[in-house]
Amino acid sequence: MIAVDWIALALGGVAGVFMSIVFFAGLAFGMQRALQADYVIKTLALSAVIRIAAFLGIGWLVVMQAGPWAFAGYGAAFFTCRRIVILCAGITAPSGLAK
């Protein structure tokens, strides 16, 4: 039986929820700025680079400090928050695609 490090899993989950909030708030901010900017693609690309670098950088720090169970919690928290954001936004999958 595999021993689960629940503390590391919870630490990764908390960090994942926090970074998900920052990630999706940054996405909303970047989209607003891009829609008002003259250089839409450059604005969206810069926003994406900053958000992805921050998300991966904090994820790397969490894993280096707390180990692989923290990585599992971090990833699970991100995908859970992503699902919640999609449901709240009312975005549906295109027809013909599995949910």
The residue extents of the domains of the chain are 6-89
Predicted local confidence at residue 75, as pLDDT: 93
For residue 22, name the pLDDT band (cuts at 50, 70, 90).
very high
pLDDT at 97 over 80: no
pLDDT at 71 over 60: yes
Asked if 76 and 17 count as a contact pair (C-beta separation under 8 A), the reply is: no
The residue type of 53 is: A
- The pTM (predicted TM-score) of the whole model is 0.80
For residue 1, name the pLDDT band (cuts at 50, 70, 90).
confident
Rounded (to 5) percent helix, strand, coil in the chain: 80, 0, 20
pLDDT at 46 over 90: yes
